Structure 1
Amino acid sequence: MKDGNLPVRLRWSEGVKLFRSRWKGARPTVFFFIALFLMITVCFGSAYAMAVSGTTTLFQVRRNREHTLGDYVRLFFMCMLLCVLAMVATRSGWLCVLLNLSVPFLLVFFQSSQFAPKGYIGYAMTFVFLELRPPAPEEMETQLLAVAACTAALILALAGYGWWRGRTEKKRDSVGESLDRLAALLKRMAEEGGSDEVRKELYGLEQSFHRMGYRNHRLPGSSDPQKLFYNMFAILFQRAVYLVSDAAWQEEVLPPERREALEGLAGLVRAVRAAQTAEERAAVAEQIQAMLADTPLPEGRLRIFYRSFLHRMLLLLRHWGEVRPVRHPLWRGGGGRELWRRLRERLSLERFEMRFALRLSVVLTVSCTISLLWDFEHTYWFPLHAFLLIQPSYEESAHRMVTRPIGTALGCLLVFVVYPLLPGVPGVFVFSFVMISLMYCCTPGTWVHPIFSTAFAVTMASLTMEDTVAIGLRIFYLLLAVLLVLVINRFFVPTRREKQFRSNLHTLTHLHATYWDMVSQGLGGRVDPAFSSEILTEFHLVYDAAMGYVLTLPQGEERTEASTLLLTLWNMFSELEQVHYLLQAGAIPPEQGPGLNRLARTLCVEMDRPGPPLDAISLEAGMEEGDLGYVLGRYLASAHGLSRQLAGVEQAARKRE
C-alpha cells in the first residue's frame, strides 16, 4: 500500500461512516414516506400524493417526542382543518389571498419562536402542499379521505415508533444524570474553587433544563405539568453558576467551613438522586430542614447560594412526580390587562414571530395566487420553491437562494443523464425512491439536498411529460421563486441577525423590569412560581440567543463590548433572582420592605428602557445591611453605566445592519 493512498482511503472511510450514521437516523422517515406514498397512490391515485410530503414532515419532526391521546386527537383535528382550509383557498382568487395571508401567519405566530424557529414547518407544509394541486369539486371528498388516511397512518406510525423506541432504546434519565453531574461539580468546587470549566458545564446544564421546560409560544393557560419541574432544575443550576461567576470567590482559597458546606450540598444531591420513593424523599426533606436551621456561614454570596440551594431542593422534592397543571396568574383577577399587554408585545414588529409570519404570508399569498390563476403546466412548483426558500432568518434565506439553484441544476443534470436508461415505469419508481431516500439523509439548506429532491420530482413529472420539458419548468419556476423571495426578504420587514440582536437586548432589559414588577407585587402577596419560572426561562434563552450572535462577530472591540454587556445583564439578573429568593424565603426584615418596594417600582420603570437616570439610583438608608443589602449593592453597581454600554453596543449593531 502506498502512503499517498492513505488519506484518500481515510476520507472514503469517514464518508462511509457519515452515510451510515445519516441513513440510520433517516431510515424511519424514508420507510414511512415510501409506504405512505404507495398506499395513497394505490388507494386514491397519484393526484393525491401531495399530502404525503407534509405528513412525512410531521412524522420526521415528531417521532422522537412523547405523545398522549390528546396529542393524537389534536394532530388529527389540525390536519383535517388545514385540509379543508387548503381546499377552500383554491375556490377563488380572493379566498386564496385571504387564507394564505392568515393561515401561515397564525401557524408561525403560535407554533414558532426564535428558540424554535421552525416549529411551524409541519403544519404549514401540510396546508401549502394541499393547495398546490387543487381538486375539482367532485374530488374534494376523496381529498378529505386521502388526508384522513395519511393522518391515521401518521398517528399509527408515531405510536408504533414510540413503542418500538421504548423497547429497543434505553430511556435516558436526564434528571438523574444531571444530578450526578451537579454532585460531582459541587465536590470539585469544594476541592478546587471556581473555574471557567466548571462554570461552563453548570451553565450548559442550566440551559438544557431551560430548553426542556420551554414550550412553543401559546396563549397563557394550563402549562405542561413537567414545565415547572424542569424550570426548578434550571434555577438550581443557575444558582450554582451565580456562585462560581464571582471573580473574588474564584480567586480565594476556601476555608474549611466553606469547603464543608459545599461538600454537604454534594452529599445532599446524591441523597436526592438515590431517593426513589415518597418516603425516602420525605426523609431527605427533613435533612434539608435541619441544614437550613444550622447555617454557620457569614453573610455574602456563599451563604445566599447555600440557603437558596437548599430551599430549591426542598421545593423540588415537594413537586417531584406532581402531575397537576399549573394555572398562569394571568387568568386570575385583573389578568386581562396583562394578557392584552403580552399580546401587543407579540404583535410588535420587533418580535421575530411577527416579522417572519408577515414575510411568509406575503410570499405564499403572491406565489399561491399566481399558481392558482396562471393556467400553465406545473405552476405549483413556483409556490413550492418559494415556501422552501423563505426561512426565518434573512441569512438562511440568502444562503438557500445560492445552494438551491446549484442543487437543482445538478439534480436536473442527473435526471437528464439517467432517465433514458431507466427500464420503464418500475425503473422510474425505483430511481425516485432511491433519490427521496438519499434526500432524507441530507441536511436541508445544503446544495446536496436539492439534488435528490429535484431528481425525485422531475423523474415523477416525466411520467406525464417529456423529461426535458420538466427540467426546463423546474428551473424556470425556481428562478421565479428566488426573485420573489429576494424582493420580499430585502424590502419587507427582513429579520437580519443584527436587528434581532438589538431586539434581544431590549427584551433582556424589559424582562428585568418585569421581574422587578413581580418583586413589588410579591411584597404584597405570594407570586405564583410558574410566573417567575417563565420569566427566568425566557431571559436565559434570549440571553443564549444574543450571545450566540456575539460569538459570530470577528474578534475585536465590538465583540468584547457586546460580550461584556451581556455578561453584565446576566450577572444583574442573577442578583435580581436572589432578591426574589430572599423575598420568597421570608428573609427580608420588615423594616426593609418599604424601601425595597420603592426601589423595585423605580427599577421597573428605568430598566424597561435604561437611560442616564439609572446611574443616579442608590440604596436608601438602612438598606445596606444584611443579605438583601449585599445583593442590591452588587445589582446597582452593575446597573450604573448600563445605559452607556447599551447605547454603544446597539449603535455598533445598527451600523452592521
Structure 2
Amino acid sequence: MKSKLQTGLAGLRSKFMEALPIILFFLFLFYSVILIFGISHVILVSVVTILFKINYRRYMTARQLMGLVGTQFLMAFLSFLATLNLPLCILLNLTVPFLLVFLQSSQFNQLGYYTGAMCFTFLQLRPVGWQGLVMQMAALAYGLAVMTAVLYFHSRRSRKGDDFALAEKGLLLLAAELQSAAGPVPEDGKKPADSLFPILQGLYKEAYKSRGLTKVVNARGRIQYMFALLFQRSVYFLTNPYQESTLADESCRDIILRLARYMETMGKEGFQQGGSKDDRNGYSKGYRDGLSSEGFSKQGKELLAEAAGREEAPYIFVRNFLGLLLLILEDLRRIDENVPSPGWKLPVYRRPVRRLFCHMRTDTFETRFALRLSVVLTAGFTYSMMSQANHGYWLALNAFLLLRPMYEDSASRMKSRFIGTMAGCLLLQLLLPLFHGTGWHFVLATVMAVGLYMETAGTWQQALFSTCFALTLTTMALPQTLAAELRFLYVVIAILMVLAANRFFFPTSLKSQFTYNLNQLLHIHQVYLRLLGRSLKMPLDYGVICDIQIHYHLVHDQIQEYLKKAGHEKEGFIREMLWISWYMVSEAEQMLYLINSRKISSMDNEQMDDYLIFTACIISDIQKRLNMRADHVPAAGESMAYRRTMEGEERLSRLMEQYSKQVSRLYLCVCRQTENANING
C-alpha cells in the first residue's frame, strides 16, 4: 500500500513539474487580464494558453511568431463579425472553419486547423459588439505579446542543433549496421536495417512539419528531408541481396568500414557543432583537436575521392552517400552563418488557391472534415444567436471540442466528456458550499486550473477539471444548480449533434482512411512513372520530387501504424505489398535522380518511354485486381519494346532491372491474393 502511494505521488509530482510552465503562464495571464481588462475577457486566456502549450517546446523564429500572432488577430476580427448578425454568423461559420481545415490541415497534420479555429470559435462565445471591440483587441494584443515574448526568449536559449538530434542518432545506428553488414543475420530474426526505419520515417515527418503556404519544406526542413533520403538509400543498400557478394571483396569491405567509422565520429561529435558534444565528455583526443563542420567536409571529400573510379555497389553507395552528405554539411554551415537558404517551392497543384478551386474532392480527408466542422459550428452558433438561451454558447463550445478529424477520437472524447462533466458537476456541488465569497471562488478556480493543465487532453480527468473550473466562474453570476444543469444539458446535446455528424455527414474513420491510403500507395507509383517520363524532356523542379517522396513515406507510415493498432484480416498480404512497394519507390527515386540531374550520357528516350508505359499498364492492372480506382494510362502498342536495361548505362540498367523485378513480385503477390479470395469466396 505504501509503495503504491509513493508511486502515485511520484507520478503526480512528475505531471505537475512537466505542466508547470503552462500552469504558471496561465495563472499569470488569467489574473493580469482580470486586473487590467476585467473578467469578461478571461476567455482569451484559454486561447493564448493553448497556443503557448502547443508551441513552447518548439524552436520558433521571429517570423514564425509574427505569423502566428497575425493569424490570431485575423481570426479574432472574423469571429467578431460573426457575432454581429445571423447572416454573417451563418456565412462566416460555414466558410472560415472550412478554409482553415482545407488549407492548414492534412491527413498527416490533422490538427493544423486547431489554433486558428479555436480563436475563431472561442471569441464568438462572448459577443462584445462594436463598443467592446477595441477593448477585446487590446486584451488579445496583451495576451499575445506576453506569449510572444516568452516563446521568443525560450527559443533563443534552446539549441538549434537539437533539430538534428534524430539524424545524429541515425548516423550512429547506420555505422553499426554497416560494420555488421557482412556478418550473419541476427538471431532475433530482425532485418539488417530494422532499427533505421523509425529514423528515416521520423525525418520525413520532421521535413513535412516545415511545410508552409509557398514552400514544400523550408531551409531546415530541406536538411531533414536530405537526411531522410540518405537513410532511405542506406536501408536500400543494406537490405538488397546483391550487396552481400560484393562485400566479400576486401577492398569493398574496407571502404564501407571506413565510411562507417566516419559516420560514427560524426554521430558522436555532432556534425553541426563539430566536437562540441563529446569534448565535454572527454571523447577521443584525436578528434578533440578540431573536427568542425568544415573538418567533416574535408574528411568526406577525401573519402569521396578514394571511392571514385570503381563501379562495384559498395563504391557507388559510398559516392552517393558522401555526395548527399556534403550537400547537407554545406547547408548546415549556411544556417549556422545565417546565410539565406530558401527551401523548395510548393508544387503548383499543392498551392492553396489551386487546391481550393481545382483539387477539391469529397474522398479526401481535408474536404470531408472541413465540411463536417463547418456545419456543426454553424448549427451551434445559429442556435445560440437565435435562441438567446442562457449560456447557449456552451453547445458550440462543446461541439467544437468533441468534433475531431477521426470518428474513433471523437467517440473517445464524447465518452470522456460525458463522464468528466457528470463527475465535475457532482464534485462541485460538494465543494462550492465550502468556498464562500469571490476570493474563495478564485482559489478554487486556481486549483482546478492546475489540475486542468496537468491532465492529458481528451481524458475524463481533464474534462472533470475543465467542468469544475468553468462552473466555479459561472456560479459567480448564476445559481449553482442551474449552472450545473445547463452545463450537463449542453454537453449531452453536443454529443448527440457530433455523433450524428460523424455518422451521417461525410464521416472519416481510421478504417476508411486506411482504405484510402492503400489506394494512394499504388497511385503514387503511377505518379513516379509520370515524373520519370516528364524528366526525360526537361529537368523537374525539385520541390515536385520532394513533395511526392515525403507524401509516399507518410502514407506508408500511416498504413503501418493502422496495422499495428487495429490489425487486418489480410495483414500478411498487405505487409508484403508494403515491403515490395517500398523497394519500388526507392528504385524509382534513384532513377529519377539520375535522369533529372542529367547523369545519364547515352539515354534512349524512346526506349525509356516504352519501359514506363509497360510498367504503368501492369500497375494499372494491379489496381483493377484490387478493386481500386485505376489511373488512366496509355495502352501499350504492339510496336513497343519492353527492355529492362539501357545500353551503356550500368547504374540505370541495374535500377531498371531491379524495379521490374519488384513490379513482377507485386503482380504475383496480388494475383495469389485475389485467387485465394475467389477460392474462399
Q: Place the TM-score, normalised by the shorter chain, in its bin.
A: 0.7 to 0.9
The one-letter amino acid paired with 1:432 is: A
Paired position in structure 2 for 1:500: 513
Asked whether 1:457 is paired with 2:470, we answer yes
Query: 2:412 matched to 1:399?
Result: yes
Q: Pick closer, same or farther for the CA change 1:280–1:249 going to 2, 3 Å.
A: closer
Is 1:87–1:134's contact at 8 Å kept on the other side of the alignment? yes
Instruction: Note the aligned Cα RMSD (angstroms).
Output: 3.4
Aligned to 1:634: 658
Which of 376, 379, 397 is the aligned partner of 1:366? 379
Tell me the alpha carbon deviations over residues 411-443 of structure 1, each in whole angstroms, 9 at most, x when there is no partner. 111101111011422221111111111111111
1:438-477, aligned counterparts within 5 Å?
A: 438-477=451-490
In structure 2, the partner of 1:4 is none
Give the drift of 1:266. Answer: 0.8
1:287 aligns with 2:287: no
What secondary structure, in the 3-state scheme, does the structure 1 residue paired with 2:302 have? helix
Residues 235-268 of structure 1, C-alpha deviations (whole Å, 9 max, x = no match): 1111121123336767998453443232122133
Cα displacement (A) at 1:349: 1.9
Aligned twin of 1:205? 199
Q: Secondary structure at the match of 1:235?
A: helix
1:549 corresponding residue in structure 2: 562
Residue in 2 that maps onto 1:225: 219
1:511 aligns with 2:505: no
Q: What pairs up with 1:210-609 in 2 under 5 angstroms?
A: 210-215=204-209, 218-221=212-215, 223-246=217-240, 254-270=248-264, 273=271, 274=274, 277=292, 279-295=294-310, 297=312, 302=314, 305-322=317-334, 323-326=339-342, 328=344, 347-554=360-567, 557-583=569-595, 588=600, 590-600=602-612, 603=615, 607=619
**Aligned match of 2:643:** 620
The answer to whether the Cα contact below 8 Å between 1:191 and 1:259 also exists between their aligned partners in 2 is no
Which residue, 165, 168, 187 being the options, matches 2:179? 187
8 Å Cα contact 1:363/1:485 also seen in 2 = yes
1:3 matched to which residue of 2?
none
SS at match of 2:180: helix
- Asked if the contact 1:210–1:230 (Cα under 8 Å) also holds between the matched residues in 2, the reply is yes
Equivalent residue for 1:47? 40
**Contact 1:517–1:601 at 8 Å: present in 2 too?**
no
- Which residue pairs with 2:151 in the alignment? 158
What's the offset of the Cα at 1:206? Answer: 0.6
Q: Assess, with a 3 A threshold, how the Cα gap between structure 1 residues 584 and 263 changes in structure 2: closer, same or farther.
A: farther
CA contact (8 A) 1:105 1:361 kept: yes
**2:203 corresponds to which letter in structure 1?**
F
Q: Supply the AA of the counterpart residue of 2:656.
A: L
> Could you tell me how far 1:599 is from its partner in structure 2?
2.4
CA distance in 2, matches of 1:281, 1:394: 49
Deviation string, structure 1 residues 337-367 (Cα, Å, up to 9, x no partner)? 9998755675222222221111111111111
Contact in 1 for aligned 2:304/2:319 (Cα 8 Å): no
CA gap 1:288/1:514 in 2 versus in 1, 3 angstroms: farther
Structure 2 CA distance for aligned equivalents of residues 619 and 437 of structure 1: 68
Distance 1:33 1:351, change over 3 A: same
Structure 1 pair 216/431, CA: closer, same or farther in 2 (3 Å)?
Answer: same
Task: Give me the identity figure in percent.
Answer: 32
Verify: 1:26 aligned to 2:19, yes or no: yes
Aligned AA (2:256)? L
From the superposition, tell whether residues 245 and 253 of structure 1 become closer, same or farther in structure 2 (CA, over 3 Å).
same
Opposite residue 137 of structure 1, the aligned amino acid is: W
Contact 2:166 2:199 in 1 (8 A): no
Number of equivalent positions: 638
Matched, 1:11 2:4: yes
1:122 aligns with 2:96: no
- Within 5 A, what are the aligned runs for 1:48-197? 48-163=41-156, 173-192=165-184, 196=190
CA distance in 2, matches of 1:470, 1:30: 26
Q: Alpha carbons of 1:91 and 1:244: their partners in 2 closer, same or farther (altered >3 Å)?
A: same
**Contact persistence 2:125–2:393 (CA under 8 A):** yes
How many Å apart are 1:142 and its aligned residue?
1.2
Note closer, same or farther for the CA distance 1:258–1:252 as it changes in structure 2 (3 Å cut).
closer
Change (3 A) 1:345 1:626: farther
Q: Deviations over 1:297-326 (max 9, x none)?
A: 2xx6x5653443233223323433335444
Matches of 1:488 and 1:140, distance apart in 2? 33
Return the alpha-carbon distance in structure 2 between the equivalents of residues 632 and 325 of structure 1.
34
Aligned 8 A contact 2:522 2:619 in 1: yes
Does the CA contact (< 8 Å) of 2:304 and 2:318 recur in 1? no
Deviation per residue, 1:93-130 (Å, 9 max, x gap):
11111111111122222222222211222221111000
In structure 2, give the amino acid aligned to 1:503.
Answer: Y
Q: Letter of the aligned partner of 2:257 in structure 1?
A: E
What is the rounded CA distance, in whole Å, between the counterparts of 2:674 and 2:86 in structure 1? Answer: 44
Structure 2: any 5+ residue segments left out of the alignment? 275-289
What amino acid is aligned across from residue 464 of structure 2 in structure 1? I
Name the CA shift for 1:112/1:15 in 2 (closer, same or farther; >3 Å): farther
CA-to-aligned-CA distance 1:191-219 (integer Å, 9 cap, x gap): 55687264221111111211221136544
Structure 1 residues 14 and 603: alpha-carbon distance in aligned structure 2, compared to 1, 3 A threshold: farther
CA distance in 2, matches of 1:618, 1:498: 41
